[in-house]
Amino acid sequence: MFEVIKTEGRARRGVFTCAHGTVQTPVFMNVGTQGAIKGAVSAHDLAEIGCQIELSNTYHLHLRPGDEVVRDLGGLHRFMDWKGPILTDSGGFQVFSLSGLRKITEEGVTFASHIDGRRIFMGPEESMRIQSHLGSDVAMAFDECVANPATYEYVKPSCERTYRWLVRCKEEHERLNAQPGAVNPHQMLFGINQGGTYPDLRVWHMDEIAKLDCDGYAIGGLAVGEETQVMYDIIDAVEPHMPADKPRYLMGVGTPSNIIEGVARGVDFFDCVMPARNARHAKLFTWEGAMNIKNEKYKLDERPIDPNCGCPACRSFSRAYLRHLFVAGEMLAMRLAVLHNLWFYNELTARIRQALDQGCFQAFRHMYSQKLDGRI
């Protein structure tokens, strides 16, 4: 269930309810690809850093440990001991970004596992079955994510096929939810808009998938090689065609500024590996801009990473200590940095929600959109 409780321009403040709880939107989903957040962060840590909803991957968990193993152990919630909402991505992105040789047919995709090269087939029905075994709250449709730039001649038949795959996803999803013994019989299904950088294909595809009455809609195939402005233009073109009463999810995006600009364009859900990945490379977000904690200038700096941050790293440790941990190659460096950056992203969306509640989102956008992607 999704309810928009307030709007400011196209920005929406909403409440999303699923089998494992309620999510206040706009929201950032913390990424635990294989059932853990990279950087030695557990589901228990997530609860402590303000995470409302976690994202895991069909592709990875199917290859290892196997989705049937997760099902037999009671589903992903129990496996990783996360009691809140989980969204699983369909494999439609990872199959294209991670696997080796692949062949796409009407049926689905045959690809080589990035772990051992084994040949694997995944189509809409397989993806739905895997996500059903995982028991996530939201399953994503199986799609083809086309990297930009791509020709019109390639993208048009691809997004037509992604439409037909969604029809199959929907049918299989309904069948699986109704089966006795389903891990989560209340699992929802979100459709994914594709169409590359071509507004006419995007709009055609969005209009078609909107008719299928999914529980929510995502915009995929963005932040995959195009300029930032092109991404914003595509969201501007698609958004008026997205059902207003359903949640909207911009997949794999992005920087703090991208999130603020996405909200301004009517998006409710985001996910991105950037905060965790940057943290592992010593790049930390603050309310003044990003910093590299390994920089010599922090050697004797006793201040926390960000004096305005309440995360477990900033509550106890100095920049000098964090810098030392990174330089010395201590694993604790990664963990504290990841906790800080994820806290920052969760706090960013919390402040966006607060601004929307108070009717001052445009002022918030003006104040932070440029600044947060800058450097200090």
| Residue 215 one-letter amino acid | D
Residue 89 binds ligand GUN (CB under 6 A): yes
Q: How many CB atoms lie within 10 A of CB 69?
A: 12
Residue among 87, 130, 140, 336 that touches ligand GUN (CB under 6 A): 140
Q: Which of 206, 209, 196 is nearest to 152 (CA)?
A: 196
| DSSP-based three-state secondary structure for 235 | helix
- Scored b (16 or more CB within 10 A) or e, 208-223 reads bbbeeebbbbbbbbbb
Of 225, 72, 88, 237, residue with least CA distance to 145 = 225
State how far the Cα of 335 lies from the Cα of 289, in Å rounded to an integer. 21
340's contact among ligand GUN, Zn ion, none, with CB below 5 to 8 A by partner kind, is: Zn ion
Q: How many residues are given for the chain? A: 376
Binding mask 178-217 for ligand GUN (x = CB under 6 A): --------------x-------------------------
Contacting ligand GUN within 281-340 (CB under 6 A): none
Q: Is 136 in the site for ligand GUN (CB under 6 A)?
A: no
Q: Is 220 in the site for ligand GUN (CB under 6 A)?
A: yes
Q: How many residues bind Zn ion (CB under 5 A)?
A: 5
Cβ neighbours, 10 Å, residue 71: 20
Q: Which is nearer to ligand GUN, 124 or 304 (CB)?
A: 124
Q: Which of residues 259-278 bind Zn ion (CB under 5 A)?
A: none
Neighbour count for residue 372 (Cβ, 10 Å): 21
Least spacing, CB of residue 289 vs ligand GUN, in Å: 26
Spatial distance between the Cα atoms of 279 and 38, rounded to a whole number of angstroms = 10
Residue 311 engages Zn ion in binding (rule: CB under 5 A): yes
Which residue, 158 or 341, is less far from ligand GUN as judged by CB?
158
The three-class DSSP label of residue 23 is strand
Min CB(27)–ligand GUN separation in Å: 16
Give the DSSP letter of residue 273: S
Cβ atoms 373, 22 nearer than 8 A: no
Pair of tokens at residue 308: 């305005």
> 314 contacts which partner out of ligand GUN, Zn ion, none, CB within 5 to 8 A by kind?
Zn ion
Catalytic position from the list 67, 89, 137, 215: 89
- The region of 109-117, 131-139, 252-260, 309-317 touching Zn ion under the rule CB under 5 A is 309-317
Catalytic positions: 89, 271
Q: List residues binding ligand GUN (CB under 6 A).
A: 89-90, 92-93, 140, 143, 145, 192, 220-221, 251-252
